[in-house]
Amino acid sequence: MRQAATALLPATPEGIGRAAALLREGGLVAFPTETVYGLGGDARSDMAVARIFEAKGRPRFNPLIAHLPDVAAARAVADFDNRAERLASAFWPGPLTLVLPLRAGAGVSPLVTAGHDTVAVRVPAHPVAQALLAAFGGPLAAPSANPSGRVSPTRPGHVLDGLGGRIDAVLDGGACAVGVESTIVGLAGGVARLLRPGGIPAEALEACLGGSLAPPDAGPERPNAPGQLESHYAPEARLRLGVTAPAPGEVWVGFGPRCAGAALNLSEAGDPVEAAARLFHLLREADRLAGPAGRIAFAPVPERGLGRAINDRLRRAAAPRP
Ligand code: TXA
Ligand code: MG
């Protein structure tokens, strides 16, 4: 295919125009969002979406998020009920994804929804993502811009490390501010479910909805079997979690002020927002320090606010590999 070299494009009007032109030709462009870098392709094109799966080495059955410039554009793709409208007006643009009934005539490739009658929609807040969506003028399918199962990218260099030579371009928006993926709420099955903890704390969503979010069930909203801890976000090294006293030879990643001696610290101040923003970068750093067949130990992170998303990602990073 033609993307032998991956272009690093500046986030200028020219760079964004070039990225939009590549997308209109069916190309793949990684772009910054406030959460992580997404690997964008035209969500209406079977070919472009198939190329996303191919570039990532991603299993076909795992559906993708459609990125849209605003709630009006999202309503053209998905059916919004009152709860969806309330969440969208409170948290969009921002790190929230809604899984809703697919709208008749939405025009989204069935590869995006993996053949389900639901679709995941998100309006990103990052100004470069917004500018790209405006210049492109259509929905962008965008999973995180990493090879399937590996650590998500929060900097353009991370994208090039994993996908360089496999995609057309990366739009350079610097480091991502939130650092963990969007929170996914499923509303298609009647009950509101937390399908993935992420950049917006579940507590904030529950306050907006006036009720608690149910856990995912085994239905079509959840491609994975319940309780199955899928290996994901996997570094090369082995990971141990909740470690207050690391073993000799382990690279210790601390959280908070009581981790003197840690090689790296997610947040010296014990701030989960800062920890989320640094998580994937430090996972890569720790992997580099640990070396081949190395071991990494993470200090405990409280299961509150963004801590829930951080712990979810760490548990998957530590899960047994297939
Ligand atoms: O922050 C984010 O959400 C980033 C940025 C790029 O927007 N994207 C991202 O995409 O994390 P990805 O593909 O790595 O994760 C999307 C998740 C997958 O776990 C997928 O199973 C779920 O969304 N998903 C997508 N469509 C779905 C659907 N119709 N029903 C249930 N889950 C769905
Ligand atoms: Mg991902």
Any atom of ligand 1 within 6 Å of the Cβ of 99: yes
How deeply is 209 buried, as exposed, middle or buried, from its count of CB atoms within 10 A (0-12, 13-18, 19+)?
middle
CATH superfamily of 7-209: DHBP synthase (3.90.870.10)
Ligand nearest, relative to CA of residue 119: 1
The number of the ligand 1 atom at minimal distance from the alpha carbon of 67 is: 7
Per-residue pLDDT 10s for the chain (322 aa) are: 445 699 999 999 999 999 999 999 999 999 999 999 999 999 999 999 989 999 998 876 689 999 999 999 999 999 999 999 999 999 999 999 999 999 999 999 999 998 889 999 999 999 999 999 999 999 999 999 999 989 999 999 999 999 999 999 999 999 999 999 999 999 998 899 999 999 999 999 999 999 999 998 755 445 443 334 577 788 899 999 999 999 999 999 999 999 999 999 999 999 999 999 999 999 999 999 999 889 999 999 999 999 999 999 999 999 887 7
| Nearest Cα to Cα of residue 251 among 277, 221, 283, 227 | 283
Position 82 scores a pLDDT of 97
Ligand nearest, relative to CA of residue 313: 2
> How far is the C-alpha of 313 from the C-alpha of 281, rounded, in Å?
13
> How far is the C-alpha of 41 from the C-alpha of 44, rounded, in Å?
9
| Nearest Cα to Cα of residue 62 among 233, 220, 223 | 223
Q: In angstroms, what CA-CA distances link 131 with 23, 144, 190, 239? A: 13, 19, 34, 38
Any atom of ligand 1 within 6 Å of the Cβ of 43: no
The distance in angstroms from the start CA to the end CA of the chain is 30
With the most atoms of ligand 1 within 8 angstroms of its CB, the residue from 29, 118, 144, 229 to mutate is 144
Say if CB 125 and CB 68 are below 8 A apart. Answer: no
Position 106 scores a pLDDT of 96
- Residue 171's region, left for phi above 0, alpha for psi from -120 to 50, else beta, is beta
* Span(s) in the chain for CATH 3.90.870.10: 7-209
